[in-house]
């Protein structure tokens, strides 16, 4: 398949009249799949009402069939078409955070969505993205759009059109390039089917943000305890991994440097994921800064770009700094833990 490439300038607010948007929307109506930017990561969109379109998404990504997709909408009125029995809590969260990086799990409307999209579950994940290109495409085609991250399964999610192209060129109908994404990690997924909302996947909207609106929120136990079975099917898979093994390091700068030296003495090329503040303190074969520790949003923004960038180097092993898990730090550490398959090295304290 020849993949179409479109470029749009997302600062213009006449997106509806872009012929590129029209063309992409037309392909979506024909059950083709198209990648577009959102404020979190690039999504691979397809008609959520069509088995044929959903099957194309799973095939292009190499995604396991038991991992359901998020359905994207462009207006709040669309929620009632796909979800039922929406709770007060869910209403308040949608009101507070949409459009934005919050996905809510709701009871689904029977017989509307493709069964493939919901992986046979009775619930549906719904999100209204805060990105002019995503909103214009969804609005133009008038359909609920299933859109997982536009990467091959297991790779870091794409934060630029270039990443999408690296993974999916030749297997999807089109890619809309609308520049780099903002948040950089996927949306926060919140189960709103119970009495209090439960965070199944941490993201740009934090537990603290949610509690400020609805008073109380919980975190799925599987996010902090590896022995628990996650409630969100996708969370059990290894994800976000570069090719070289990643290790999470917890210790002083001098201890980190000696770990690096040890590996290099054994003839290994060592990559280091660090931050602007620490950049000048280290010596390794490849050192990549990933944002600033004093603003964890900058770390989230650059994380996938940096993990992907290591694949363009010849490092044998990647060491990574670690971060506190409050605020957006929880989302960062969740993704890093997966990239590292939970491999940690701790400095022994005297």
- Distance (Å, rounded) from C-alpha 62 to C-alpha 253? 39
Q: How far is residue 250's CA from residue 344's CA, in Å, rounded to a whole number?
A: 8
Cβ at position 209, least distance to ligand TXA in Å: 15
Residue 157 CB, shortest distance to Mg ion, in Å, is 5
- Closest by CA to 318, choosing from 248, 220, 261, is 248
Residues 148/34, Cβ–Cβ less than 8 Å: no
| 69 contact, one of ligand TXA, Mg ion, none, CB 5-8 Å limit per kind | ligand TXA
Nearer to ligand TXA, 54 or 147 (CB): 147
Binding site for ligand TXA (CB under 6 A): 38, 40-41, 43, 67-70, 101, 103, 105, 118, 121, 123-125, 127, 129, 147-149, 186-187, 189, 200-201, 232-235
Q: Identify what 155 binds: ligand TXA, Mg ion, none; CB under 5 to 8 Å per kind.
A: none
User: d(Cα 82, Cα 175) in Å, to the nearest integer?
Assistant: 26
Give the nearer residue to ligand TXA in terms of CB position, either 232 or 275: 232
Cβ at position 40, least distance to ligand TXA in Å: 3
In the list ligand TXA, Mg ion, none, the entry touching 103 (Cβ below 5 to 8 angstroms by class) is ligand TXA
**CB-based closest residue to ligand TXA:** 234
What six digits make up the tokens of 145?
């759009």
Return the residues of window 76-115 that contact Mg ion according to CB under 5 A: none
Sheet with strand 246-250: strands edge to edge: 286-289, 270-274, 317-320, 246-250, 344-346
Contacts for 349 with CB less than 8 Å, ≥ 6 apart? none
- For ligand TXA, the closer of residues 3 and 123 by Cβ is 123
**CB of residue 208 to ligand TXA, shortest distance in Å:** 19
Residue 317 near which of ligand TXA, Mg ion, none (CB within 5-8 Å, type-dependent): none
Query: Min. distance of Cβ 139 from ligand TXA in angstroms?
Result: 16
CA atoms of 90 and 194, how far apart (whole Å)? 10
By C-beta, is 43 or 289 nearer to Mg ion?
A: 43
Please classify residue 302 by burial: count the beta carbons closer than 10 Å to its beta carbon, then call 0-12 exposed, 13-18 middle and 19+ buried. buried
Is 186 within 8 Å of 41 (Cβ atoms)?
yes
Q: x/- contact string, 122-161, with Mg ion (CB under 5 A)?
A: ---------------------------x------------
Q: Tell me if 207 sits within 8 A of 191, measured CB to CB.
A: no
- The residue among 24 and 105 lying less far from ligand TXA, judged by its C-beta, is 105
Structure tokens at 26: 């037309």
Q: CA angle 232-234-235, nearest 5°?
A: 70
The answer to whether the peptide bond before residue 181 is cis (omega within 30 degrees of 0) is: no
Residue 345 binds which one of Mg ion, ligand TXA, none, with CB within 5 to 8 A depending on kind?
A: none
Q: Which residues are near Mg ion by CB under 5 A? A: 149
């Amino acid at each position: 398949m020849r993949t179409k490439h479109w470029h749009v300038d997302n600062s213009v607010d006449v997106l509806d009249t872009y012929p590129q948007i029209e063309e992409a929307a037309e392909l979506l109506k024909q059950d083709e799949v198209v990648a577009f930017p959102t404020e979190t990561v690039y999504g691979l969109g397809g008609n959520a009402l069509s088995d044929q379109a959903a099957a194309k998404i799973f095939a292009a990504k190499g995604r396991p069939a038991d991992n359901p997709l998020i359905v994207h909408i462009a207006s709040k009125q669309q929620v009632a078409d796909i979800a039922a029995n929406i709770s007060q809590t869910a209403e308040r969260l949608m009101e507070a955070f949409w459009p934005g990086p919050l996905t809510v799990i709701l009871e689904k409307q029977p017989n509307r969505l493709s069964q493939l999209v919901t992986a046979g579950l009775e619930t549906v994940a719904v999100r209204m993205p805060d990105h002019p290109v995503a909103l214009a495409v969804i609005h133009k085609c008038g359909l609920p759009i299933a859109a997982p991250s536009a990467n091959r399964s297991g790779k870091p999610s794409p934060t630029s059109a270039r990443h999408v192209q690296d993974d999916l060129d030749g297997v999807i109908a089109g890619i809309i390039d609308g520049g780099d994404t903002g948040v950089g990690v996927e949306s926060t997924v919140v189960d709103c089917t119970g009495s209090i909302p439960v965070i199944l996947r941490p993201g740009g909207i934090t537990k603290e943000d949610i509690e400020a609106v609805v008073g109380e929120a919980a975190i799925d136990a599987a996010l902090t305890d590896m022995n628990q079975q996650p409630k969100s099917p996708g969370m059990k898979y290894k994800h976000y991994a570069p090719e070289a093994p990643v290790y999470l390091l917890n210790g002083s700068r001098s201890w980190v440097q000696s770990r690096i030296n040890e590996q290099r003495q054994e003839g290994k090329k060592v990559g280091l994921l660090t931050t602007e503040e620490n950049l000048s303190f280290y010596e390794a074969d490849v050192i990549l800064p990933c944002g600033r520790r004093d603003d964890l949003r900058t770390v989230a923004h650059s994380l996938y770009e940096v993990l992907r960038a290591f694949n363009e180097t010849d490092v044998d092993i990647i060491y990574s700094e670690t971060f506190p898990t409050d605020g957006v730090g929880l989302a960062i550490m969740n993704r890093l833990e997966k990239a590292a398959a939970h491999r940690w090295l701790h400095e022994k304290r005297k």
